[in-house]
Amino acid sequence: MARLIALNKPFDVICQFSAHPTRRTLADCIPVPQVYPAGRLDADSEGLLLLTDDGALQAQISAPRHKLPKRYLAQVEGLPGADALAHLRAGIDLGDYRTQPCQARVIDPPDLWPRNPPIRYRAAIPTTWLELIISEGKNRQVRRMTAAVGLPTLRLVRRAVGDVDLFDLGLAPGEWRELDVGAPWRDERPVTRAQPRRPFRASGETAPARTARPTGARGTPRAPGAQQRAASDDTRAPRQRGTRKKSTKF
């Protein structure tokens, strides 16, 4: 059975299991072999990270074609106006690509764990918390979006991926929990894999039995349509000897 793990990734942890000479990695948080992130978080981002040992499940969660919503909480520098929020919602040209439309709104400061180290504060410049829900996941996308409208991101926390909400799990930074592999992940949609393509099946579901192809007299497979022709030949009334089929040609 596939495994699905939810981790509250701490700040300054790299999304890799291989050792790093100076920084912490996922191996310092999760002592589970053969699981890999389904979508990454930058080292300076925090929050929900899903990991699995199943390649098809990883694709269901992270592949852009599935458009799984991801909810972020961003503490930004400055006070966003209506124009800035409208630009975020409509999509922003970042130069190398244009972001898809998303949801963006101002929220009250969330009840989060303290960050270590804390963000920089400037007394003359207030900060604001935004909630953004996007269906993409490009490199540093949220930070680039807020910077493009004049609101640099100071702290970024991923709260939810699909229906998995970090606030519901109650995980402190560095804590993880194994989740039940069920809806919404196992939705029976085909997942692109190495050839040949096969439909994605829920864990434990067996493939349907293959029907044997009809064979000819010598055990070789019949050509397409041969079985149908043979059946019609068996039911055809025998022609009496000495009779000829009447011609309809004029």
pLDDT at 230: 44
Average pLDDT over residues 30-50: 94
> Is the predicted pLDDT of residue 159 greater than 50, yes or no?
yes
Higher pLDDT, 30 or 181: 30
Q: Which residues contact 98 (CB under 8 A, 6 or more apart)?
A: 91, 92
pLDDT at 181: 81
| CA–CA distance, 158 with 6 (Å, rounded to integer) | 12
> Is the predicted pLDDT of residue 151 greater than 90, yes or no?
yes
Q: Quick one: CATH architecture of 1-66+163-204?
A: 2-Layer Sandwich (3.30)
Average pLDDT over residues 172-188: 75
Active-site entry in 12, 28, 42, 53: 42
> Is the predicted pLDDT of residue 207 greater than 60, yes or no?
no
Rounded (5°) CA angle 66-69-74:
145
| CA–CA distance, 223 with 216 (Å, rounded to integer) | 9
pLDDT at 234: 45
Q: Read off the pLDDT of residues 226-238 as tens digits, 9 standing for 90 and up.
A: 444 444 444 444 4
Higher pLDDT, 221 or 80: 80
pLDDT at 196: 30
- Chain mean pLDDT for the chain: 80
pLDDT at 137: 81
Q: Read off the pLDDT of residues 32-41 as tens digits, 9 standing for 90 and up.
A: 989 999 999 9
How do the domains of the chain map onto residue ranges? Answer: 1-66+163-204, 69-161
H-type alpha helices, 41-149 = 55-62, 82-90, 141-148
- 67-81, 124-138, 212-226: lowest mean pLDDT where? 212-226
Q: Known catalytic residue: 42?
A: yes
pLDDT at 206: 44
State the pLDDT confidence band at 213, using cuts at 50, 70 and 90. very low
CATH for 69-161 (3.40.50.970, 3.40.50.11720, 3.30.70.1560, 3.20.20.80) = 3.30.70.1560
State the pLDDT confidence band at 186, using cuts at 50, 70 and 90. very low
Higher pLDDT, 69 or 210: 69
Do 1-66+163-204 and 69-161 have matching folds? yes
Higher pLDDT, 206 or 157: 157
H-type alpha helices, the chain = 55-62, 82-90, 141-148, 166-169, 226-235
